[in-house]
Amino acid sequence: MVQDLLRLKKKYRRVFIAGLSVGALMAIHLANKFPDEVSGIVALAPTVFYDGWSLHKGKFLLDVIWRIPFLRDSFMIRETTPHGLKDEHLRSLISRFYNNAKKNQFDEKVASFGSPFFPAACLYQHQLFVRVVKKELSSVKTPILILHAVRMIWSV
């Protein structure tokens, strides 16, 4: 990613970077590390905190799970409704797929709906990265456009 930014900067006078979700955080982080190379940021739905619909009340145990390799490498979190969606039709399609899904068994719907499971280690790493970006945010002087949907309407 850094090499791409530097390569683009050699070719173009101004380089703008954009990212979606965690990618938006990465764009902000990159602008902090290379302020003279980034002319602007577009942050699409930056995931500053995980909304927690899918998380068990014991999510505070992630710090403990992370320190135990067997748990860190095997503990999977199952996505549950409402999947961050307000559109009832789309939510029902995804819920039907997710409810019938088995761990480590994927089909072509994963490309459309996303994985019904994600490793706890990924969520933990996300939390660590959010802490880094939050500390850096006040130092970022690059213009930033933040877009976040209030309501997403999508039909399948």
- Domain locations in the chain as residue ranges: 2-147
pLDDT at 53: 53
Cβ atoms 80, 59 nearer than 8 A: no
Nearest to 54 by CA among 122, 132, 112, 106: 122
Q: How confident is the model at residue 93 (pLDDT cuts 50, 70, 90)?
A: confident
Strand partners, 145: 42
Cα three-residue angle 4-9-14, rounded to 5 degrees: 125
Tell me the pLDDT of the chain averaged across its residues.
80
N-terminal to C-terminal alpha carbon distance within the chain = 33
Q: How confident is the model at residue 81 (pLDDT cuts 50, 70, 90)?
A: low
Q: What is the mean pLDDT of residues 46-67?
A: 69
Q: What is the mean pLDDT of residues 43-48?
A: 88
